[in-house]
Each structure stands twice: as structure tokens, then as C-alpha cells.
Amino acid sequence: MSRLRTAAATDTGYLRSTNQDVALATNDLAAVADGMGGHLGGEVAARIAVEELLSAYRLDRTTNGLVAAVRVANAAVYRKSRSDRNLRGMGTTLTAAAFIGDEPDGKLQLALVNVGDSRAYLLDRAARTIHKLTEDHSVVEEMVKSGELTVEEAAVHPHRHILTRAIGIEPSTEPDCWELDLEPASRLLLCSDGLTNELGEEDIAQILLDEADADSAARELVRLALQRGGIDNVTVVVLDVLAGEEASLADDVTVIPVVPPGMSAPVPRAETSPITEAVAVTPAVGSAEAVAASTADQPVLRQGVSAAPITRGPVASVPASPPEAAPRAAHGRPVVLVRQKKRSKAHRDRIVTIRVALFVLVFTAVLGSTAGVVVWFDKASFYVGLDHGYVTIFQGRPGGLLWFKPSIVERTTLTPADLLASNVVSLKEGMEESSYQDARKLVHSLALERTAIIPSESTTTTTTFAHAALVPNLTTTSTVSVRAPATSTGATK
């Protein structure tokens, strides 16, 4: 005969004024709830969820019974939030594990359910590590699944505490559910995010390995989380599977924090701020019948296998929980709280902000200015080159500038045969000028350099030509050496 030994520990932490976590530990059921909501709403939601879960599970101690108990807890929290203005918008996470029977091979069969980002871990003694059994119902978890974030990036993402599913936000919800087939001496851990925000998996595994007693392990986990920061409420439940022992006849129930005598639940203070309402981030899909129908032939997760949990049947997506009205720190419990008059737009992210609009305008202005400078520089440039065997004036840069190609402005009748060989080489590369007029002058100069030299068989004389006679636009003169043809008298002509 196998049975569970459970031990729970919790602490408010150093920055919180109230403890909105609630832990449940009995002989066959354990749970952790992390409440959220204004005033004392989180405390009320977590306590209602745990108490309703326990009461409903006792009526049917099976996997189906545990799933049904989660639905009962959700409905109770939702009804309470709708009936009390001071508790409007409250909700809670809920992770629970229940003993549902012994297997013929002596193993313990355990059912596990989860809604939110409180977690369940299984200790692997051989590998000296822990396996995360549950999946967080959070924005960053969805981003990790889609490949938008790595696990390391998700751990420090500013939206890592925004939930996509929680207890009490919508009239109905469906939990993720697993069935585990555990070896004797197995150890599990249920915890709120106040523990995993402060301790890594290696630290948690080391404590679970070092502390043989479940009570000692629970207390040490809470103590170390406080030592590392203690920003949020910290709550843990350690479960040990004991083999070969008779189950206790006493129905021992531990619920912490303990409610003061004469008070069944925290009493909310007078309202001091506008009433808010939680709005789901994602709509619910699936149905209660879908989960109930999938309970048969459930896969089994055995100790020592992969850390990825095995989920039974199709899992329904559930409404989201929302961020706290005034988050006090990076680890603050988020509740997507919005004023009721804004409910219709609460589920939509504001994509276009003033800052984004200004950035777009500035970026567009810079981009436009840059493009304008490039266009101006290209249009203000000219060069003389060759096109289809003729000397041509181009507008632009030789070879083009970015996506701007040079354009032909004027094609002359000059060919490479009309020019000096050295000028032909330069024309092939492009001879740049700062204006169209300068380019025309360059063409005339190239033509004159060839025609101004005439071969002679005898004497050489110096003749002065007025450029104005050849090129009307030019007024300067230059001296060119020309060989005059020989005559019988030797006179120059």
C-alpha cells in the first residue's frame, strides 16, 4: 500500500503586505493557489479555490473528480467576484496533485491539474535534477512555444507574469490534466511563482535531494527564496510517495496561511479606488465534455523520463488573468485589471502610441532627406564618355549611383578615331565635370587636340589660332604647332 506524505510552507515575503498564496496539504490531495486582485481579492480567491477544490474532490477521488473539482472552484470564485463589488476582478492560479490509487506493480497513481503559472516538479534522484511537469499559462510561455523567445529570454521578459488562463476570471474554465505513474520514494513539488522567481531549478533540486524530511525541505525552500530576495509571496508543498505503509485513517487537512479564529475568509477593506474588472486575454475554447471524454486510456509519465509533461486529451484554452492595478515590483503578481468602462477595448493591445508615431515621422524625415541628397548629387553630376562608339555627355555618375543610372544628355558625332589615344582611355572611364556647360567645353577641347596637329614633310612653323573661330562659345586663344607643306621656294603659306 502506498500513500502520500505532504508538507507545506509559506511566507508573505519582504515587500508584500499580505499573503495572497494559499497551500493545501492532506493525505491524498495537495494544492497551491496564487491569488491576484485588488485589496484582499487575491487572498479571498485563493482560499475559496482551495476550499472548494477539497470539498468537491472528496465526493469523487478520481482524475475526473479532480478535474470537476477545479471547475467547481472556478465557478465559486467567479460567483463571489460578481456578487461583491470589492472583489471584482479577483482570480487565482491553481495547481493540485491527488492520489487516485495504487498500481498492480506497487507504483502510485497520481492525478495532476494546473491553471495559471504555479508549477509542479518531479525530482529525478538519479540525474540529480527536477523535471517541470506543468506548462505556464502565460504570455511568454506562448511566445516560447512559437519560437519568438528563448527560455532564457522568457525568464527576464517584462511580460512574464501576465497570464492567459486563471481561476475565477470567466464563468467556466478547463485545466491541463496529467496522470502520473510514480515509483516508491518519488518526490514532487508544488509551488507558486514566488519560489521560481528567486531560485533556479538547480537550487531547488539540491534542496529536495539534501533534505530527507518533507517538512524540512519545504521550510528550506521558502527560507532560501527569502534570502535571495523574497519579493513575492512564497509557497511550496512537498509530496513524498511512501510505499509499504498503511494509509492514515485520520483525514489530516492543512491549509496555510491559517485564518484567524472566527473568520472564515479575509474580509475586504472599504473600497478606496475605482472598481475594476478582469478581462480575459484569450477566449475560452473547447468544452467540459471534451475533457471528460478524454479520461480513458490516459498516457503515463514515469519517473526518469523527459521533462515534457504528457497531457491527456485535447486541452482547452482558458481566459486570461490580468496585471495588478499597481504593480510594485518586477515580480508583482499581474492581474489584467481595467476600468469597467474600458472593458470593450481591454483585450486589445495599444499598438500605435505617440512615441511610436513620432519615431515613424522622424525616421521617414531622415530617410526622405537622405534620398533627396542622393538624388540631388546624382542630378548635379555630369561626365563625358563613350556610347555606341560616339563621344557622349551623360548626366549622373560614371557607373551609376546606388539605384540611379546615368542618362544621356547629348550624343556628339565625334568617334574615338577623331581623338587622341590617351583621351580615349579617359573617356572609357568617364571624364567628370561639375555642369553641363563644362562638359560641352570638354568635348570641344577633345576635338581641338586632335585636329590642331597636322603632319608636314619639311619645316615646322608656329601658327596661332583663335579658338573663337572654331568654337563660338570660347574667347581665349592658344598656340598650336603645325607642319606647313613644302614649296619650291621654301616659303611658308
Superfamily designation of domain 2-349? PPM-type phosphatase domain (3.60.40.10)
Q: Compute the half-sphere exposure of residue 2: CA atoms within 13 Å on the CB side of its CA.
A: 25
DSSP one-letter code for 475: -
Residue 452 binned pLDDT confidence (cut-offs 50, 70, 90): low
More confident residue, 452 or 262: 452
Kindly report, residue by residue over 257-303, the tens digit of the pLDDT. Answer: 886 555 555 544 433 333 333 334 433 333 333 333 333 333 334 33
Q: Which of 153-167, 184-198, 269-283 reaches the highest mean pLDDT?
A: 184-198
The predicted pLDDT at position 199 comes to 94
Estimate the share of the chain in helix, then strand, then coil, as percent rounded to the nearest 5.
30, 25, 45
207-223 mean pLDDT? 96
Kindly give, in sequence order, each residue whose CB lies less than 8 Å from that of residue 451, ignoring residues fewer than 6 positions away: 418
Contact 118, 33 (CB under 8 A): yes
Return d(Cα 69, Cα 58) in angstroms, integer.
9
User: CA torsion, points 190, 196, 201, 203, in degrees to nearest 10?
Assistant: -100
More confident residue, 75 or 470: 75
358-380 mean pLDDT? 80
The predicted pLDDT at position 354 comes to 83
Return d(Cα 464, Cα 249) in angstroms, integer.
131
Q: Which of 307, 134, 121 is nearest to 217 (CA)?
A: 121
Please name the amino acid found at residue 134: T
The pLDDT > 90 percentage for the chain reads 37
The predicted pLDDT at position 402 comes to 67
More confident residue, 474 or 239: 239
Query: Left (φ > 0), alpha (ψ -120 to 50) or beta: where does 427 sit?
Result: alpha
**Taking the CB of residue 360, how many other CB atoms lie within 10 A of it?**
11
**CA angle in degrees (0–180, nearest 5) for 444-395-390:** 50
238-266 mean pLDDT? 71
Task: Tell me the whole-structure pTM to 2 decimals.
Answer: 0.57
Residue 403 binned pLDDT confidence (cut-offs 50, 70, 90): low
63-67 mean pLDDT? 96
Cell of 400: 551609376
Return d(Cα 439, Cα 421) in angstroms, integer.
19
The predicted pLDDT at position 300 comes to 37
Kindly report, residue by residue over 317-354, the tens digit of the pLDDT. Answer: 333 333 333 333 334 444 443 333 444 444 444 556 78
Return d(Cα 251, Cα 238) in angstroms, integer.
18
Contact 313, 293 (CB under 8 A): yes
121-141 mean pLDDT? 93
Asked whether the predicted pLDDT for residue 81 surpasses 70, the reply is: yes
Residue 208 binned pLDDT confidence (cut-offs 50, 70, 90): very high
Contact 46, 87 (CB under 8 A): no
Q: Which of 195-199, 293-297, 353-357, 465-469 reaches the highest mean pLDDT?
A: 195-199
Cell of 385: 564618355
Contact 337, 276 (CB under 8 A): yes
Q: Which of 52-66, 133-147, 229-243, 258-272 reaches the highest mean pLDDT?
A: 52-66
The predicted pLDDT at position 157 comes to 82
Asked whether the predicted pLDDT for residue 490 surpasses 80, the reply is: no
- Give the gyration radius of the chain's Cα atoms: 42
Return d(Cα 187, Cα 208) in angstroms, integer.
8
- Residue limits of CATH 3.60.40.10 in the chain: 2-349
